[in-house]
Structure 1
Amino acid sequence: MPANDSGGPEDLEQAAVIFEGVRPRLFGIAYRMLGSSTEAEDLVQDVWLRWQACDRGAVADPAAFLATVTTRLAINAAQSARVRRETYIGPWLPEPVDTSADPHLGAERGEALGFAVLLLLERLSPTERAAYVLREAFDYPYRLIADIIQLSEVAVRQLVSRARKRVVGERRAPVTGAEQRRLLKAFVAAARSGDLTALEELFAADVTSYSDGGGVVRASRIPVVGAPRVAKYLRAFANRFWAGVTVEWGNVNGQAAALLCHDGEVFTVLTVNASDEGIDQVLWMMNPAKITAVSGLR
């Protein structure tokens, strides 16, 4: 077969060049849809296999084609993930990703990347989530989103509007990145010392602490809610939890995070979400399967 025929060495090389050029965006779509770096990587690999096998000569717009394949696979994967998470042990939190090297994970802006928004997107249907991600994170035109998710443009506009209202309506205005980092560092200091007063002063009245251990490590299996309860909960285990712990700092999902280490190994990724009312959410990501990638942050 001549080298420049479909499937020949030059054709496959060109296919790889095209794919690698859009790969960050494909991963960005998949991650925002699934909240899991591992699952997103697997999905993108599946897209690559399909790209290799398809009739690329019939594809007029490779970037749009690959985004379509990624989104449709992600919708199916999100439906399956929703069923699995119904039996997940304890609170489920998104898998943290390193955004120090690629702050937007293929997006023109960092929308739908922070933990607060990812948690809200979990409440949407997979199709609503896809429409929101494509529009808000990647600024796709409604017409193209309609083609991708196979709905009318009017229906897509309604999906995006409904999703946007839920995300905005259920979330307080976040503080700046600098303020979030300051609050996180103050929280770590207060939690480590078990300073009840300092903790309560940092919290919004309805603060919630979520611990994702996945049933693998010891972690609270229910969220702890309310400033006094969260502060007392943290003080109760301060001496045991923080003994021998070293703290390093990183950037995950576009926000500051504390990497808690025992004997040089990260065992918890800790971050906070905050508004003008104080820290709204404390997120303890402790499931070992979810935090292996953060070693690259150190």
Structure 2
Amino acid sequence: MGMLIDNRSREALLVEIEALRLRLEKTEQMLQGYESVYRILVETMNEGTAILTMDGVILYCNNRLATLLQVPPDQLIGSSLGAYVTPSDYPLITSLLENHNQSYDKQELSMINGEGTPIPVVFSCRILEFPGNQRISVILTDITERKQGEMALLTSEKGFRLLAEGMPQIVWVTRADGWNCYFNQQWVEYTGLTLEESYGHGWNKPFHPDDQQRAWDAWQNAVTNNDSYSLECRLRRADGIYRWWLIRGVPVLNRAGNIQNWLGTCTDIDNIKQAETQIQIAAEREHAAAALRESEALYRAIGESIDYGVW
């Protein structure tokens, strides 16, 4: 009777062991499936990624990282990630990797590819906890195009400032909403205002009292309707004298067709306005003289036509 119980217990134990083995196989298959999906995701990333030991040795890397560094994957694996960092940034990456209790996002540094060319990247790392050990997950994002764009923008901005500061006209720039963010030195020298006093809507201060509202309305209309801006008005010089200026501004559009900012100039037209005034005065005088001559001729004709003497 005892032997029968033992056999039954043994059979039940074998069944339980078999069920456990099947569950383990199923779990292993699921893990393999997850690993396959993970590898597909990692290999299709635009970023270079790697798994490191806590000492910074590369245990795994995707093909994107190998392409970025122009080094074969089998050569990268087993090497130190620090070997592909510029000397100036080596202390930074060493510090990032040694701080095991912290994770870092978006740290900019320069890597070196197989040809010795620096590559600007954004560095991110995470600590991965495994039973009995730790690993470091690293993601490197190539920002070469962004850096080139920033350099091109910086160069174009520098060129614009050199051009603007060398122009005889006043040059100004505003944001899309009409908030002024740049005046060249000619504005400062003419108005006597500092740049801090002129930024924002401070540009309205030197306008003649009779022109301020007109200038403001015209500017608001241009900003609201995304239209060009053109106005003749008087601006106060640093010594208190008002002179006539022609102010023009045009919206600068980005690639999407939206206003990025406004670019404008102020041109001194006071001499032209004075000449126009003199011409107008001369024309009025000529008109008055002509009227006088016409009136004189008329009275002379009347005087000659009567029978008695007139004096």
If the TM-score is normalised by the length of the shorter chain, which range does it land in?
under 0.3
Higher strand residue share: 2
Higher relative contact order (CA 8 A, sep 6+): 1
Q: TM-score, normalised by structure 2?
A: 0.20
Q: TM-score, normalised by structure 1?
A: 0.20
Which structure's CA Rg is the greater one? 2
